[in-house]
Amino acid sequence: MDYTWVVLSLIAAFTLATSDALTKKALTSSNEYIVAWLRLIFSLPLLLLIFLFIPVPKLDKEFYTAFFLSLPLELLSIVLYIKALRLSPLSLTLPFLALTPVFLIFVSYVILGERVSFLGSMGILFIAAGSYTLHISKIKEGIFEPLRAITKEKGSVLMIGVALIYSLTSSLGKMAIEHSSPLFFGTTYFTVLALLFSPIAIYKGGKMKGGAVLSVLLPGVFYSLMVVCHMVALSLAKVAYVISVKRMSLIIGVFYGYLFFKEKNIRERLSGSLLMFIGFLMVVTAT
């Protein structure tokens, strides 16, 4: 069996987690809209360079439908994602992206016809348990306190919304890839996305100093690498497989939160992240 998609998904996980950590650092002194926009802008040079060397596939109605349905959802997810990174600790927000494979069990079935087995359903339980143990220290205040803590943490709530949107855009993205090519879709989609997000960033954002602009350069480079690996991996395997393995970024993100942002309760959150990732593996093997 060809495991190229696994390697690509893991690279996508690493580059995404690195981009997120660098983005969070940039957010300490800059507006989230401008930072999100510049991350997209700085990802374009590599994507446009790739576009020059790939053939333009024959496009059909299904491609355009998936392409244009995804764009408004992606714009919304960008805003929610960056706000979540600003509002809450990295190790507490990123693990909720683990819910994307849970949503995919249902969404990918509707859009792509993918099914999961009983083992996949058991994976959902592990993911739910992982979400719960992110706030395990709160149990001493009451059995339902961890659930209430999730609602109190604005960044976590926003990231749950992002996870739901990603289940839709991942499925639609796979549909677009099936009716074009992974690199063509990836390069054109994120170029159009950057253009559409420009007026939003200009309207909602503020001024940035030269140094602040440069601080988003590396996040953009890592983001472009993530896009390429993600799209090619989607063309080689089912969307649930790719997204589940890609969620290794959660574990990397937890370590980044501890190493670079001195975030506390790391053991509690890491144990929750690990439980969630075990759930991913169960979903992957059951797909």
| pLDDT for residue 27 | 75
pLDDT digits 0-9 by tens, 160-205 = 899 999 999 999 999 999 999 999 999 999 999 999 999 988 888 7
The C-alpha atoms of residue 93 and residue 156 are separated, in whole angstroms, by 5
| pLDDT for residue 147 | 63
| pLDDT for residue 216 | 84
In the chain, the number of structural domains is 1
**Mean pLDDT confidence for 122-150:** 66
Q: 173: domain range? A: 4-286
| pLDDT for residue 145 | 57
Cβ proximity of 63 and 72 under 8 Å? no
pLDDT digits 0-9 by tens, 75-127 = 999 889 878 877 877 666 777 777 888 888 889 889 988 777 778 778 877 87
| pLDDT for residue 251 | 77
Q: Which long-range contacts (CB under 8 A, 24 or more apart) does 4-9 make?
A: 4/236, 5/232, 5/233, 5/236, 5/237, 5/241, 5/242, 5/245, 6/245, 8/229, 8/230, 8/232, 8/233, 8/236, 9/229, 9/230, 9/233, 9/237, 9/241, 9/242, 9/245, 9/246, 9/248
| pLDDT for residue 255 | 79
% of the chain with per-residue pLDDT over 90: 38
The C-alpha atoms of residue 42 and residue 284 are separated, in whole angstroms, by 33
The C-alpha atoms of residue 90 and residue 205 are separated, in whole angstroms, by 22
